[in-house]
Amino acid sequence: MIMSAVIPIIKPISEMKLAPGSVVSIPHINWQEFESILQELGESRAARIAYSNRTLSIMVPLPEHEIQSDLISDMVKILLKVCGIKYQPFGSTTLKKEGTAGVEPDACF
């Protein structure tokens, strides 16, 4: 009887190459690992990150998604201006609830 050992594969998340429209979910990620992954990936990336219930999701939007996102963002800006509401655009800033969840919207104000 031949026994085989399971050898975990350890690769940096930044080496993952995902096609537009791809979504990857990685379970059992703790908050410190989430923070490390964000740091490893850096600020300039095409992928969007979400973290909730110890699951990390990485999504690469399709070009069509970006077009719709820009359109909605422009509409929100126009509505805010028409209503006289001052705003500050923050782009796809990572919003976090420490230890619990993190998400990157397409745009936020």
Q: Give the total number of structural domains in the chain.
A: 1
Say which DSSP state 40 is in.
H
Question: Is the entire prediction scored with pTM above 0.75?
Answer: no
Confidence (pLDDT) at 72 = 93
User: Could you tell me if residue 4 is inside a domain?
Assistant: no
Q: Which domain holds residue 55?
A: 19-103
Q: Is the pLDDT of residue 2 over 70?
A: no
Q: Is the pLDDT of residue 32 over 70?
A: yes
Confidence (pLDDT) at 84 = 97
User: Could you tell me if residue 10 is inside a domain?
Assistant: no
Instruction: Give the least confident one: 1-10, 14-23, 74-83.
Output: 1-10
pLDDT digits (tens, 9 = 90+) for 56-92: 999 998 888 888 888 999 999 999 999 999 999 888 7
User: Could you tell me if residue 71 is inside a domain?
Assistant: yes
Q: Count the residues in the chain.
A: 109
Buried b (16+ CB within 10 A) or exposed e, 17-31: eeeeeeeeeeeebee
User: Could you tell me if residue 93 is inside a domain?
Assistant: yes
User: Could you tell me if residue 75 is inside a domain?
Assistant: yes
CB contact set of 70 (below 8 Å; sequence gap of 6+): none
* Chain Cα centroid distance, residue 6: 30
* Chain Cα centroid distance, residue 46: 9
User: Could you tell me if residue 9 is inside a domain?
Assistant: no
User: Could you tell me if residue 55 is inside a domain?
Assistant: yes
Q: Is the pLDDT of residue 10 over 70?
A: yes
Confidence (pLDDT) at 93 = 83
User: Could you tell me if residue 8 is inside a domain?
Assistant: no
